[in-house]
Amino acid sequence: MNPISRIIARLSRYRRHKFAGPALLIAGLSIAGIGFSVAQAATTEIQKVTTSDKASLIAEGKEIFARGCSSCHGLNAEGAGAAPSLIGVGAASVDFQVATGRMPMADMSQQAMRKEPVYNEAEVAALAAYVASLAPGPAAVTNEELAWERSGDTALGGELFRTNCAMCHNLAGQGGALTQGKYAPTVMGVEPRHIYEAMVTGPQAMPVFANTVLTHDEKLSIIKWIKHAENEPALGGAALGRVGPVTEGLLAWTLGLGLLIGIAVWLTTKAR
């Protein structure tokens, strides 16, 4: 008998064990799951566009635009069909949409979602320069320019967030559902400049928060509160996604009641 068939013979002794079925199921699911994630990781390849020598930022931006954006937005950014015109949206809009990976869209789904950006920072800057050259619009900002850590007020930011943002983005900034599959994304882990640009440009379903609605300093306060909430340690233990009673109820039923019922079963097991 060779070693493999010996192992099989040994294993097969357990084929009628009461845990044989569950064990096989778990093994099968694990193999399928791991196999799938390996296969998926192998197919993901980040498209990289090499940056050429920057003689003219705008010219380069125009070239990138023609290659990567014009098939939807038109050769002169005039827009077509579902893709809006980009004339006058400004550099802030380009920086927000492209540097957060929302544009170019992966597919025509309900909403462009945040993902690994396709273009690097230099390319985004070139694209932004090109779009800004078409017509004046809100300018892109950098994290350093905003100086939110110095000018913002966390408590005021919290009040402003709850008044202006929480109705879509959730009280804890975890995001929320909108109609027909659209959603307000989480504001956690977003670059301060992108939060600012989102308020200024009002991307997708979001309204524009002009300086008459929220002043520059108020916007910085909101950023400061978001950054505080993001970095706040989980004060009461595991945060459970900070989405409130739904995950809490789930944990009470599974871990809480599960443990207690398990112990009750154990307590009433007859000694053998």
Give the interface with other proteins as residue ranges (CB under 8 A): 16, 110, 154-155, 158-159, 162-163, 166-172, 174-181, 183-184, 225, 228-229, 232, 234-240, 242-246, 248-253, 255-257, 259-261, 263-265, 267-268
Instruction: Provide the minimum distance between the beta carbon of 195 and other proteins in the complex, in angstroms, as a whole number.
Output: 17
Q: Which residue's CB is nearer to other proteins, number 34 or number 259? A: 259
Distance in angstroms (rounded) separating the CA atoms of residues 97 and 51: 19
Q: Which residue's CB is nearer to other proteins, number 119 or number 225? A: 225
Task: List phi, psi (to 5°) of 31.
Answer: -60, -45
Instruction: Provide the minimum distance between the beta carbon of 164 and other proteins in the complex, in angstroms, as a whole number.
Output: 9
Instruction: Provide the minimum distance between the beta carbon of 60 and other proteins in the complex, in angstroms, as a whole number.
Output: 35
Distance in angstroms (rounded) separating the CA atoms of residues 91 and 185: 22
Instruction: Provide the minimum distance between the beta carbon of 243 and other proteins in the complex, in angstroms, as a whole number.
Output: 6
Q: Which residue's CB is nearer to other proteins, number 66 or number 178? A: 178
**Sign (positive/negative) of CA torsion 218, 220, 224, 225?**
positive
Instruction: Provide the minimum distance between the beta carbon of 132 and other proteins in the complex, in angstroms, as a whole number.
Output: 33
Q: Which residue's CB is nearer to other proteins, number 41 or number 235? A: 235
Instruction: Provide the minimum distance between the beta carbon of 89 and other proteins in the complex, in angstroms, as a whole number.
Output: 26
Nearest in space to 124 (alpha carbons), one of 144, 138, 140, 106: 140
Q: Which residue's CB is nearer to other proteins, number 183 or number 196? A: 183
Tokens describing residue 167: 């109705």
Give the count of alpha carbons within 13 A of 37, CB side only.
5
Q: What angle do helix axes 90-99 and 192-201 make, rounded to 10 degrees? A: 130
Distance in angstroms (rounded) separating the CA atoms of residues 40 and 61: 32
Q: Which residue's CB is nearer to other proteins, number 124 or number 172? A: 172
Buried b vs exposed e over 75-93: b needs ≥16 C-beta within 10 Å? eebeeeeebeebeebbbbb
Tokens describing residue 121: 């920072």
